[in-house]
Amino acid sequence: MTISSDKIVTAIAHTNIALIKYWGKRNAEFIIPYTGSLSLTLDQFYTQTSVQFDASLDQDSVSIDDQLIDGNGWQRVHDFLNIVRQQSDITLNARVKSENHVPTAAGLASSASAFAALAAAASRAAGMDLDLQALSRLARRGSGSACRSIFGGFVEWQRGTNDSDSYAVPIETPNLNDIRIVALTVEKHHKPISSRQGMALSVTTSPYYPTWVKVVESDLQSIKTAINADDFTRFGTISELNAMRMHALTLSANPDFLYFTGDTLEAMNEVKRLRHSGIECYYTIDAGPNVKVICQKQNAAAITDTFSKMFGPEKVTVAQPGPGVKYL
């Protein structure tokens, strides 16, 4: 396939917060999960990525926030671009420039927005014209949760059994449209154990992992029922419980590990205090120390004020349902 070297494609994808968690791969090469999952795409955190295939390049060039990257980060992008090259039947190296408007590797799903944007920009720059389902499948090959960031709002990743039937689908519903996520960025540094490492360790060493697979199936059906019924209390309760069940796997792995910090625990306890005082809210936490507080629009201001006083206003961001991938 002939690709013009001056064709630059730019795409934006937003991060998502998993409410029913993805934690564990059945197939590591194709990133096929053991369970389905469900997320909410957020409007405040996103990645903007430009891709250009260029015959003058000796190898792929990758920059994030104007910094050239190498090592494992470069390798991961290079491997993903190889998938794009294989599917589009081109051989040119690529220039990738990415701006990440979300803290990297801190449990805020930066890889989801990063690989969703990369999949969109790289595939189109390579001359591919993928529909959203195919684009979700491609993004999954870079980062599992990226398949969900192709779509906006509530999204379900259907686990499938192979490369062709494991992809995300949007949940079309007018319900729970006043959801707000108060994101607490209590720690911006890289987490000591990556999600990939943590998943593998949990799958292979936690004695509770088989039970987790069964529990997620039940939680997934229950939260979809709650969304359809516009039942915020049930929705929040399931989300919080599922998060804690995921983190129980890290505590029961060998060796055990923990993504929480002291600030994480302080935030969790404050959510419970707020809830007991009549301000309904729930927490969820991905593979990192940062806490996302699930609430409704009417309570967002009070919750934001509380955590701004605890951690500083610069660490508190209010997000709402965000859009799917788009091209600039």
pLDDT digits (tens, 9 = 90+) for 46-64: 999 999 999 999 999 999 9
- Residue 105 has a pLDDT of 45
- Residue 188 has a pLDDT of 75
Who's near 132: CB < 8 A, 6+ residues apart? 150, 151, 324
Q: What angle do CA 183, 243, 114 make, to 5 degrees?
A: 55
For residue 3, name the pLDDT band (cuts at 50, 70, 90): low
- Mean of the per-residue pLDDT values of the chain: 94
Does residue 305 carry a pLDDT above 60? yes
Q: Does the domain spanning 179-319 belong to CATH 3.30.70.890?
A: yes
User: CA-to-CA distance for 159 and 278, rounded, in angstroms?
Assistant: 37
- Residue 40 has a pLDDT of 97
Does residue 2 carry a pLDDT above 70? no
- Residue 106 has a pLDDT of 46
Domain ranges within the chain, ordered by starting residue: 8-174, 179-319
Contact assessment for residue 283 and residue 303, using Cβ atoms and an 8 Å cutoff: no
**Closest Cα partner for 115 from 128, 131, 96?**
96
For residue 103, name the pLDDT band (cuts at 50, 70, 90): low
Does residue 4 carry a pLDDT above 80? no
Look at 79-83, 119-123, 165-169, 315-319 and tell me which has the smallest mean pLDDT: 315-319
Does residue 100 carry a pLDDT above 80? yes
- Residue 5 has a pLDDT of 57
**Closest Cα partner for 258 from 268, 250, 246?**
250
- Residue 190 has a pLDDT of 72
DSSP state string for 56-99:
T-SS-EEEETTEE--HHHHHHHHHHHHHHHHHHT----EEEEEE
Does residue 264 carry a pLDDT above 80? yes
- Residue 175 has a pLDDT of 87
**Closest Cα partner for 211 from 165, 242, 254?**
242
Does residue 258 carry a pLDDT above 90? yes
Who's near 183: CB < 8 A, 6+ residues apart? 42, 44, 45, 108, 290, 291, 292, 293, 316, 317, 318, 319
- Residue 107 has a pLDDT of 47
- Residue 104 has a pLDDT of 54
Identify the CATH number of the domain defined by range 8-174.
3.30.230.10
Look at 26-40, 95-109, 181-195, 247-261 and tell me which has the smallest mean pLDDT: 95-109
Does residue 72 carry a pLDDT above 70? yes
Across 153-175, average pLDDT: 95
Judging by DSSP bridges, how do beta strands 94-101 and 61-64 pair with one another? parallel
Contact assessment for residue 179 and residue 209, using Cβ atoms and an 8 Å cutoff: no
For residue 201, name the pLDDT band (cuts at 50, 70, 90): very high
